[in-house]
Chains A and B, each alone.
Chain A
Amino acid sequence: MTKLIRIIPDNCTGCYLCEQACSFHHTDECRPSATRVTVVAWGHVGLSTPLLCLQCDDAPCARVCPEGAIKKIANGVMVIDNVKCIKCKICMIACPFGNIKYDDVTSTMIKCDQCGGDPECVKICPSGALIYEDAGSANMIIQQKYATQLRTDSGEASE
């Protein structure tokens, strides 16, 4: 079943715990430059949102890779085979969201691998800005939010 780490941008408080936990999981060090999830922030007014790979079914990164190093595994997760990868960085350029990056310290391409099915960023986020769920029903929260606007008497459901 395809899994999604869904971003809820409005909930992000800019604490960067997701970056911390991600880098610690992948390196055993506290090194946010190794994070697979990135917080983009407008610091002076405290706005921020995490961004990370959404695991495209028909992924541009995989399509452009000259070595065929990016493959889909269980749960629909796209992973990079570091033995095949030649670090040409074309995948980084092809990703429309900028969600693949080059780690300068280890000279490798890195992206979200959903931690093998138990994503650390989701577990540590104190704000509910990241949710791990089945991609097939991930739209429900958004639909529910808008449904309350369509059905103005929906408040009665909780009475």
Chain B
Amino acid sequence: MYGWIGQLLRVNLTTGKITKEPLDPIEAKEYIGARGLGTRIWIRECDATVDPLSPDNKLIMMTGPLTGTLAVSSSRYEVVCKGPLTGTIAASNSGGYFGPELKYAGYDGIIFEGQSEKPVYLWVNNDEVELRSAEHVWGKGCYDTTELLVAETNPKARVNCIGQAGENLVKFAAIINDVARAAGRTGVGTVMGSKKLKAVVVRGTQGIKIADPKGFKEVMERINGVLRTNASTGCCGGLHEFGSNVTYSFLDDAGVLPVNNFRDTGTDCNADNLSGESQTNVWLVRTKGCMGCPIRCGRITRSTGKHASYAEGPELETIWSFGSDCGVDNMKIPMAAGHLCNDYGIDTITMGATVAAAMDMYEAGILDKETTGWDLKFGNEDAIVDLVSKTAFREGFGNDLAEGSYRLGEKYGHPELSMSVKKQELSAYDPRGLQSMGLNYATGNRGACHVRAFMPALEIYGLPVQVDRFATEGKAAWVKIFQDIASSVDSSGSCCFITFGITSKEIAEEMTAITGIEYTEEDFIKAGERIWNMERLFNLKNGFTREDDKLPPRLLNDPIKAGASQGYVNRLDEMLDDYYNLRGWDRNGVPSQSKIEDLGLSKLEL
């Protein structure tokens, strides 16, 4: 095959048996790769209603056909399983260098099944694959684990691993690759921990075959020309200059930067201290790119004194969650907390947002100092950093936090203070001032998520057209197309940031030149729709209904208090029926038989 390698690795952790098998080319064409193909394989092989931490919940690490090629920003791989935080499908992707290396080793993906008795890691050295004891790195953080495993395998090896949070089954543990890149959300690291799989170490020297090298060179050079001169993605563009945090001040200006667990959104939170401009001017040491990426949004930052850190990060999503959402205006806190999260292997969004929910509950008198161990008012910097460590080890109040904000709220009688959808926390965009973002959060297949459809691109940046961010009319159609395209882009192995600069037409051209299969723009987007519906059917099988496509009551009932979005709530009800209708789903959000057949999903084993 071209683009795809055509081979999968299957590792049974219960028996230790390792096998290789061919990739089904027809399925690959229809589900592309990574998120789509990984989910397709999971559904065929697992019972959707499985307990996420049982040995029967397979953990699939999957690349896409563009991963590791010269296609723009194509470093991504996806981890697919059933998610312990949400009970939905979990699909979490990450850049860095691990995904490409897996393909160079000769595999599109790895299917992990069963559960090991003792800690192990998988060493993949081209066609030589073995499970090795990980007793000596169990209990270690991701930085040490990575360094030790590279030292005992190959200096050019790439590592993904879990830290202590995954080992201790923190519900939102991440899988960290290349020390600071995270398959962060929905608890994929928790599933890896439940399998006693500490790490996957890969070294590969094989090539990815390109169907039409001459055509690909032409397409690649043309697309690079567009991407590299774009204001967001260009060589001197916003994402390179200020990182993903370029968006922070735009959110503040629009009055949609969440403050104090969304309680005080729009009030002054000294956002200038945490903006991308400030990060670059004060804290940035150098920038870093993932494999094959001309955007290079990665940041290496350094601080000294109390809470000192010197590491990769933090990203926008870490800065708002440990920053304005926790009432903090000191960049050293997101830097230190983010670094700890990378070392322990924790999703920074859920971590920060869960601390924020606890602070909200503390100020409302629901939690006290005896329970939390801290005077847990918004802005308590020392408490935030300390609670990250306590969460990783499930110590004291950290054991409550390790369940995420929804279960925390439930335990103390106030789940409504969890800013989450399907038990997964919202990202950096208050949907009261961004109507379509609310619809995207509510209908997210893995719970609230900004990368399932980055609606601020439409409602703030005006991409592809300028719209009224407070209007609900017409938003359902935008959410649908954004979700479908994001599904395809994720599945191709490309980074979603390229969609700021190029369209799905251009990505389809890359797909065609690389795979040799003719993808029109329509084919590419339809594959995304197929993937979105497949994920939906998985969730329906698990008992999710229209009732779960909702937002926290605060965002529907309490208007934003101040700022540029003052007075607004999210009007989800005005959009949801329209959205179901456009998707070809009934009033309860169930895909119609004709939609299922049209997308070729009637044979799904659900």
Contacts and interface: CB of A to CB of B under 8 A. Distances in A.
A13 B296 contact: yes
A33 interface: yes
Interface stretch (A17-25, A59-67, A87-95, A147-155): A17-25
Interface in A32-55: 32-34, 43-47
B143 A30 contact: no
A16 B296 contact: no
B563 interface: no
Contact of A24 (B70, B179, B204, B291): B70
A105 B235 CA distance: 34
Contact of A14 (B206, B208, B217, B289): B289
Nearest to A17: B292
A31 B104 contact: yes
Interface in B65-85: 68-70
Nearest to B181: A43
A91 to B, nearest CB: 20
B313 to A, nearest CB: 10
A27 B69 CA distance: 13
Contacts of B397: none
B179 to A, nearest CB: 5
A28 to B, nearest CB: 4
Contacts, number: 95
* Size bin of chain B's contact surface: 35 or more
Question: In this complex, which of A14, A23, A34 has the most chain B Cβ atoms within 10 angstroms of its Cβ?
Answer: A14
Question: In this complex, which of A32, A47, A104 has the most chain B Cβ atoms within 10 angstroms of its Cβ?
Answer: A32
Interface in A79-111: 104-105
B289 A15 contact: yes
B311 interface: yes
Given A15-B291, A46-B286, A31 B210 contact: no
Given A13-B287, A13-B296, A44-B180, A31 B207 contact: yes
* Size bin of chain A's contact surface: 20 to 34
B298 interface: yes
Contacts of A16: 97, 289, 291-292
B451 interface: no
B10 interface: no
Interface in B257-304: 285-294, 296, 298, 300
Contacts of A33: 104, 204-207
Nearest to A125: B294
Contacts of A14: 288-289
A126 interface: yes
B431 to A, nearest CB: 34
Contacts of A23: 207
B228 A126 contact: yes
B396 interface: no
B516 interface: no
Interface of A: 13-17, 20-21, 23-24, 27-34, 43-47, 104-105, 124, 126-127
Given A24-B213, A44-B146, A127-B289, 9 more contacts: A17-B70, A31-B207, A31-B208, A33-B207, A44-B311, A45-B285, A45-B310, A105-B207, A127-B235
6 contacts: A15-B292, A17-B70, A17-B294, A30-B208, A45-B285, A45-B312
